[in-house]
Amino acid sequence: MAVIIQFGCGFLSAMAISIPLIWWLGFGQVRHPLSIVGSISILLASVYILRSKGIVQFGKRQIWIRFHRILASFGLTLIFIHGAFKPTYWYSWLPLTLALGSLVTGIMISIAKIRDRKRIRLIHSFLSPFLLTSIVLHGIKKMDHDKFFPYLENTK
């Protein structure tokens, strides 16, 4: 039950931030900043691997995993909002598919029996770096900075 609450906190936090911003500024203006924040939060959530491998020794492991779940679900929700669940090209489908796979494997790790967790954790840790790479490549391929930041020209 606590696992669902932790994933729910990340999801609801992302919705609480993105809905007012979309309503106030418009979806087109907010999409890319939300995906950038989502990518950063996924990157921060991946710091948990340092604790799980014993590289970092401070703090309780349970606190670290809560941090990981909330921040990762927050970032993944922002990635889903960015894509609006309507990817049009392969470089849009790839991050969406990897984000969904990362979310599903993360939930499966939390609810699986101990003997099954090792395989699922391996898949989950394999998906995460590819997800971040695909997000960066998606941004490079998709984003036209001149069209995205037209107001910067007016401020010069």
Task: Tokens for 39, please give them.
Answer: 């990518």
Q: What is the pLDDT of residues 42-56, one digit of tens each?
A: 888 878 777 666 666
Q: How confident is the model at residue 87 (pLDDT cuts 50, 70, 90)?
A: low
Taking the model in full, what pTM does it have?
0.73
Q: What is the pLDDT of residue 74?
A: 92
Of 12-16, 31-35, 145-149, the range with the lowest mean pLDDT is 145-149
Q: Which residue has the higher pLDDT, 67 or 58?
A: 67
Distances (CA, A) of 15 to 34, 72, 80, 121, 142: 11, 14, 11, 27, 24
Instruction: Report how many helices (DSSP H) and strands (DSSP E) the chain contains, helices first.
Output: 8, 0
Region 142-149: mean pLDDT is: 50
Q: What is the pLDDT of residue 146?
A: 47
d(CA 110, CA 106): 7
Of 78-82, 95-99, 118-122, 140-144, the range with the lowest mean pLDDT is 140-144
Phi and psi torsions of 80, nearest 5°: -65, -40
Do residues 73 and 11 make contact, with C-beta atoms less than 8 angstroms apart? yes
Region 118-136: mean pLDDT is: 81
Q: What is the pLDDT of residue 57?
A: 72
Most confident of 4-18, 36-50, 60-74: 4-18
Q: Which among 46, 38, 40 has a CA at the least distance from the CA of 69?
A: 46
Task: Tokens for 122, please give them.
Answer: 């391996």
d(CA 44, CA 75): 10
Of 9-13, 41-45, 48-52, 67-71, the range with the lowest mean pLDDT is 48-52
Q: What is the pLDDT of residue 51?
A: 66
CB count within 10 Å of CB 134 equals 20
For the chain, the distance separating the N- and C-terminal CA atoms, rounded to the nearest angstrom, is: 53
